[in-house]
Amino acid sequence: MMAHGHMIPTLDIAKLFAAQGVKSTIITTPLNAHYFQKSVERTNQLGFEMGILTLEFPAAAAGLPEGCESADQLTSEDMFPKFFKAVTMLQYPLERILDEVRPDCLVADMFFPWATEVAAKFNIPRLTKMQLSVDERDASESDFQRMRIKAKESELSSLEL
């Protein structure tokens, strides 16, 4: 989801994969790209391959004000359904990007349920990033560690987040 609490873990996952030699690309909207820019640049300076691609957020088409590309910018409860409508409208633009870059895997937030369908269309695995409490995180750390090791040992060469 395009909210700061979801962007930071997404960036962390991308950096973990990049550190394992897997090219990682953050796909975001133009007004959210700056949240990732400095960290992506630092990661690249360390010799790891990471990039940013943007897709237009259909705010106006969903009934939101232009420039409203993050849940943090929603000022009333009636904006949330419109925001989720706009998020759903990102499916086809994401498919166009994936058709160009041909990734080996797609990591998508749980608020992009249609990403599973997109990954299936491209015959790639889809990993779901979920926010976890400290207790849940401790319990799942070994699962994430196994996933990192599998990614390192596998033939993954690129990853879209």
How many angstroms separate the CA atoms of 59 and 65, rounded? Answer: 6
pLDDT at site 114: 92
Residue 158: inside a domain: no
Q: Is 154 helix (H, G, I), strand (E, B) or coil?
A: coil
Residue 161: inside a domain: no
Overall number of domains in the chain:
1
pLDDT at site 4: 61
Q: What is the CATH number of the domain that holds 130?
A: 3.40.50.2000
Catalytic residues: 6, 109
Residue 69: inside a domain: yes
Contact status, residue 60 vs residue 66, Cβ threshold 8 Å: yes
pLDDT at site 135: 57
Residue 76: inside a domain: yes
pLDDT tens across the length of the chain (161 residues): 466 666 777 888 888 889 999 999 999 999 999 989 999 999 999 999 999 999 999 999 999 999 999 888 888 999 999 999 999 999 999 999 999 999 988 988 888 889 999 999 999 999 876 655 555 555 555 555 665 565 556 555 555 55
Per-residue CA distances from 24 to 45, 73, 85 (Å): 14, 27, 27
pLDDT at site 38: 93
The domain in which residue 30 lies consists of 4-152
Residue 84: inside a domain: yes
Residue 73: inside a domain: yes
pLDDT at site 14: 86
pLDDT at site 42: 93
Residue 159: inside a domain: no
How many angstroms separate the CA atoms of 80 and 48, rounded? Answer: 37
